[in-house]
Structure 1
Amino acid sequence: MENTPSFDVIVVGGGAAGLSGALALGRARRSVLVVDAGDPRNAPASHVHNYLGREGTPPAELYAIGREEVAAYGVEVRRARATTAARTDGGFELSLDDGSVVAARRLLVTTGLTDVLPDVAGLAERFGRDVLHCPYCHGWEARDQAVGIIASNPFAVHGAQLWGQWTSDVTLFLNGRPALSVEDAEKLAARGVTVVEGPVAAVVVEDDRLTGVRLASGELVARDVLVAAPQFVANSDLLSSLGLEPEPQEMFGEVFGYAVPATDPTGRTAVPGVWVAGNVTDLRAQVISAAAGGLNAAAMINMDLIEEETAVAVETYRRKSA
């Protein structure tokens, strides 16, 4: 398409993975566009943790710093959502939801994932505040509080033991899951975990503070913090338009989410010229590991472009030398 803005690389997604990749590519003197829809997964969280040098930084502040850093190297950041992508002779064309079309030789897709929570009234509204899922992200802040684990998969027993590292007051709500095995019941009893049978109907909130849960039986159980394991689903619509579909990811024989697979550790995909990084391909990546994934992918994208440019240079050289 004539007059379509073209870049060496378009990065789709402006979170930790995308901005980290854009930073490396900008420093490599590549022309880079970051297309960011502006709805990061960790927006409800108050702070980022386990990020060395940025411990406790609010997510929005971290990304604002990142945008300033990439801009210093000539990277353009555009607030828009990439809806579809198509192959072209020179690489790819992306359609954006603002009606524009942009082109690039390579794509780095870092669109993250969506947390699909158990169907409990009020749970989603508190997610990232006092409804949590990762003890390494939030355990310190919940230390010594009354924690309730809402079972949604077989990992709940593991989770109940794990959260016991941060508090001695842990209750596991089976939430309609099958009764525990004798072995699991013994483990939890030995660790002092209380087990409550029956489904959880709703989260109880008073004065904008979570105070517990209401069981389907009507019983109220006081808790300060709830833990719910979501199913992790990659935000993969853009990749699907290129034929890259998410695949089920299993742990202990059960699917815990869907991610778009990479064909090697750098994030290269089965579609030549397309890389992935962050939660869209690694469901368990925290912010710092997502950033590392973006850097790794960017380095390989730059090398891939260099190899292409070298092949063209060699062909030109041979013609001149003939």
Structure 2
Amino acid sequence: MKPRLVFVHGIGAPRDAAADLDEWLRAVAAGARAAGHSAQVSALTAGWAADARFAYYGDLFRTAEAQGAGAPAAGPDDSPDDALLAQLLREAVEERLAGPAPLTPAEDAALRAARTRLAPPAGAQGAGAAARRVVNAVTSLLAVPGLRLVGGRLSARATLGMLGQVARYLNRAESDGTTTLDQRIRARVADCLDPHGPNVVVAHSLGTVVALETLHEQAADEHPVDVPLFVTLGSPLGIRTAVGPRVRPHLGTPDNVGRWLNFWDRDDLVAARPRLEDFVKPNAAAVAPVSHRVDSDGLWVHPAATYLAQPAVAGPLVEALTTLAER
């Protein structure tokens, strides 16, 4: 049976889902060739090896913004999103400063400046304090290409709006009267899963949180979907208090996942604590994440296509798809 390949994106501006699906598949193809799997590339890009889907939910953030739930801004009052985003960035910066990966003098200076700007001031903070701290910190981080959190030359405000999507998801708010924003996002991912055949789920950045929670929900269903392989790229799941403890129902491997591969780049600030197996609980079959470091050595290390073009990522992904297709 042809497996279903489901890509789950992370933060970012509104996108063309069809164009992104093509970009991600081409990145996998490039990585597969480098990994010695040239024979499988045409089957992947032509759709013979897998039924590829792109679980797009970016428009849900845009719709909520139009209704008044926009990106963090230094307005008259701090919102829960502002506070959570400040906490998330502070933890990520602290982990990067304390981590084993070497820092250039410019990176070290930018991270220390961001840490100072994110620290809550003594005494009363005043209205909009968290939002202002985040804007100032992101400005520091954008000064060094290796620390930029998303691809492209974006302003601090644009980057901030994208990062704010993580807080908006985790704060479980923005109800449309029936469901909250995070529920609507997970429904988009669930709609892409094949209830009858094997699924290989590849998730990036915020998408790793979304996909993990979706798979937990699917595992609890009367007829759980089959996920022989779950791949996470540049995941923030390891951020100690701002992300990990907020995952529902818990930070553990879903029971319907047969294998979990986690990839992180040494320069990816989002993957603050990259060895997920150190704190993610295994499932009933003792499946836990297995983390691997990749080194892209580029200006933009966080984008999904950068990860997918790595032979260490594309190789096992294509191997799994080939094995499933031959069953």
Give your verdict on TM over 0.5.
no
| Structure number with higher strand proportion | 1
Q: Which has the larger radius of gyration?
A: 1
Higher relative contact order (CA 8 A, sep 6+): 2
TM-score (structure 1 length as normaliser): 0.31
TM-score (structure 2 length as normaliser): 0.30
| Structure number with higher helix proportion | 2
